Each structure stands twice: as structure tokens, then as C-alpha cells.
Amino acid sequence: MQMLNSLRRAIFWQMDALKGSAIKNHFDEIANLVQQPEKPDSLKKRKQNLDHLLKHAVGTTDYYSVFKKFESLQDFPVINKNIILDNYERFRSDTFINSKLTTVSSSGSTGIPFKIYKNGNKHLRNTADVLYFSESAGTMLGDKLYFFKLWDFKNQKNKWVSKMQNIHAHSVMDTDPESFKKLVSLFEKDKQPKNILGYPSFFEELCQFLDGLVDKPNIKNVSSIISFAEKLKDSEKSRMAKYFSAPVFERYSNQENGIMAQQTLNSPGHYVLNWGSYHFEFLGLDNDFPVKNGELGRVVVTDLFNHAMPMIRYDTGDLAVHGINEEGAIYLTSIEGRRIDQIFDTQGNTISSHFLYMILEYGAIKQFQFIQKGEREYLIKLNALKGQVYEDKITTYCRSRLGDSAHISFEYVDGIPLLASGKRKKIVNEYSKLR
């Protein structure tokens, strides 16, 4: 089996070589720029990529044409999903109007349909990003990949393609005991080197199933586990590592851009930024000025390779805290999630929602969803039996973070529904939308 995986790897790179080694060239550049982003040669190349994008954007798109006299990136406005949607055709480059383009669609947690066009070189860059960051977590091209996401009629792989790519596609909708039983059996029988990629909410349900087994499975040869799209709790990280005997990493990415940061074998405690394919800024919550090292800020990216639909200073809607290492390279220390899902204490201060995961420690709770309903009104939905939950302890704990005047109520449900994307939303702020 390993010989077959090596053959897949060799065929992939041979096919790339026959096409001019485009992916290999992208891969090598990404590796250099990500590993040593502050070296003089790297800074020069990053500036070239940025200047090339900006000149292309002002010369070929209607939206950016008014910035032809720009002197720096800061002369461009910060944009977001709504601005793009309101000016959709104006963002498209006339150079690629009649070209064959790749499209990616996302509704994400906002529920707003969002389609982005990508030119061929951007598609190749995305492929190289995936290969580089997967490899940096221990995943080898050609090895078996267990891919847990929403697989539906729009993206379902046929059996032949899955076999050729050595992918087992399991939908996050399939979480019934019988589906989990078949999946675990497949893991045990599969002795080849393998890797896991999926949503944290699916990992949570999978671990709950494994917790309930009297005879724990004997799963071997898992090289790496990578989570994406949602925040991975420490408890799920440790449980996945225990059951699959493999390191677990978090990936920060989105549909419209690609992989922006990831934990790696060399940096398991923080997120390495993808300076090879993007330029990053971390701006204030209520202004467009840079935040200081260690402060919470909005993640604003400039996609350096999507020339079909340039996205300059794009506010991803996510919040993060950044740090700086000894070489002066910026990295992420934490990703706080969507800005629209930030919660406020009773004094109106924005606070991290990470403390809420401790709720699971106060009883036999399968799932939870925390909703801020008003200035001091909070609702906690619990997938649990009321008699097996310590509501008083949860209330006391939450008030210690939210404020003594916090009014906390509970609702018991059979489960937290999935979004259209297949993700499960744990934090909801209905109050902030009215602010």
C-alpha cells in the first residue's frame, strides 16, 4: 500500500513537471516565504507580489481604478463581504472576463451567499498552499486522507476519483451510531499511513461515540490530524490525540481565499501565517489602525494571487491576537472567531468566548450553544438531561466572567442544529446585531 501511495505522489509531481512545474514552483516559493518571511530576499519577493497585484487591480477593475495614484497599500480602503456583494461586477478584472475561471461559493456563518472567481494561477497557488501546510503537519501527498466535511450533491466525489486521490469522504451529517461504527471499523482495518482533516464539531461527536465504547478501538498509522473552519477545543484536541495516537493541529482558512495560517510540527503552540500567498494586517475593532502586539484585532488580508477578482485589504470578519518572534516574524497566538459572534459582558466590554467551553465540565452535557439575547440577557442551550446538569455552578461561573448582574437562563434541546455549511455554531450574539 505504501508503494502505491508513493506512486501516486510520483505521478502527481511528474504530471506537474510536464506542465511546467507550476505547482512545484509555487510550493518552493511558499516554503521560503513562510519559513523566513523577514529575510531581505523574502521581503523583496513579498513586495513584488503585492506591487504586482495592486497595479493589476487599479488597471483592470472598475472598483480599484480610482486608486491609480496610490503610493502604498494603506491608500486602499478596507473592504468586506458586503462591499464586494454591493459592487460585485466592479471587482472583476476585465483581463479575465472571458477566461476559464474557478469559482468557490460560501455562505459560512453569515448565511449570505458569496461566490468568488479565481484565475488559474490562484487555483495553482491554493493547491501548493494545501500541499505545503499539510506537509508541515506531517501529511504526505498520496497517503490516505479521511476528510470530514459537508459532502453533498454539489461537491460529492465519485468513487473512482476518491480512490485515485486516496480520499475517504465522510459527511458530517452522518453522525448516527451505525455510521460511526462503520467509520471506526474502517479506521481499524486500514493499516496504511493516513491523515484526518475535518470540522471540530464532528471530532466532538466522534469522540463522544468513542468515549461510549467499552472496547476502545486500536487505530494505527495516523500521521496527522488537522481541524479547520471552527475553533477546536482543548478537550477535543487531547481526545483526538489519545484515540488516534497522532498530533492535532488547527488550520485557519476560508473558502474565498484559502489557507491563511496553521499550527505545524515546528510550531504546535501558535499559528504560522501564510506570508507566501497573503499580506496580513491586524486592525482595531472600531478603526482601521493597527493594533499592538498581543491585542485583539480584526484579521484583514490582501490576497496576492487572485487577479481575477482582486481582494485588497479584505476584512475576513475574524478576530485574532498576533505575536512577533525573535526574527521579527508575525504569527497568530489565538483566533477568537467571527466578529459577529463576539459576546459582551454586562458592562459592554468585548470578552473572549473561550471561557464558555468550561460549561461542559458542569454535568453530563453533550453539546451547548451560548446566545447573548440582550445587554445582560444570556441563554444557554444544552443537549443534556436537566437532572444531570449543575445549573447553579454554570451560572456562578459565567457571572464571574460576564458580571454579577448577568441574567442566565437555560433551555434543553435534543441537539444543536448544523448550519448549511455543515458546521455547528456554539456562540451566537443576537444583541450585538442591534448595537
Residue spans of beta strands (DSSP E) within 329-406: 330-338, 343-344, 350-351, 367-372, 377-383
Question: pLDDT digit string (tens) for 13-62?
Answer: 999 999 999 999 999 999 999 999 999 999 999 999 999 999 999 999 99
Residue spans of beta strands (DSSP E) within 240-295: 248-254, 258-262, 272-273, 278-283
> What is the average pLDDT score of the chain?
89
Residue 408 lies in a domain: yes
User: Taking the model in full, what pTM does it have?
Assistant: 0.81
Higher model confidence: residue 191 or residue 50? 50
- Contact by Cβ (8 Å): 228, 251: yes
Looking at the chain, the whole-number percentage of residues with pLDDT higher than 90 is: 62
Residue 109 lies in a domain: yes
- Cα-flanking dihedrals φ and ψ of residue 346, to 5°? -70, -10
- Cα-flanking dihedrals φ and ψ of residue 81, to 5°? -60, -40
- Contact by Cβ (8 Å): 24, 262: no
Higher model confidence: residue 434 or residue 3? 3
pLDDT of residue 357: 73
Residue 90 lies in a domain: yes
Residue 140 lies in a domain: yes
Give the model's confidence band at 418: pLDDT under 50 very low, under 70 low, under 90 confident, else very high: low
Output the domain CATH number for residue 72. 3.40.50.12780
Output the domain CATH number for residue 396. 3.30.300
Are residues 37 and 156 both part of a single domain?
yes
Average pLDDT over residues 382-393: 90
Are residues 243 and 353 both part of a single domain?
no
- Out of 98-107, 205-214, 227-236, 347-356, which region has the weakest mean confidence (pLDDT)? 347-356
- Out of 17-26, 67-76, 214-223, 348-357, which region has the weakest mean confidence (pLDDT)? 348-357
Residue 288 lies in a domain: no
Are residues 145 and 17 both part of a single domain?
yes
Are residues 218 and 363 both part of a single domain?
no
Give the model's confidence band at 352: pLDDT under 50 very low, under 70 low, under 90 confident, else very high: low
Does the pLDDT of residue 105 top 90, yes or no? no
pLDDT of residue 420: 57
Residue 93 lies in a domain: yes
- Contact by Cβ (8 Å): 421, 106: yes
Are residues 120 and 262 both part of a single domain?
yes
- Out of 81-85, 234-238, 277-281, which region has the weakest mean confidence (pLDDT)? 234-238
Q: Which is it for strands 194-198 and 222-227: parallel, antiparallel or unpaired?
A: parallel
Residue 136 lies in a domain: yes
Of 242, 267, 292, the domain-final residue: 267
Are residues 231 and 363 both part of a single domain?
no
Residue 33 lies in a domain: yes
Are residues 230 and 368 both part of a single domain?
no
Give the model's confidence band at 434: pLDDT under 50 very low, under 70 low, under 90 confident, else very high: very low
Are residues 89 and 237 both part of a single domain?
yes
Task: Give me the number of domains the chain comprises.
Answer: 2
Q: What residues make up the domain containing 239?
A: 2-267
Of 236, 267, 298, the domain-final residue: 267
Of 205, 239, 267, the domain-final residue: 267
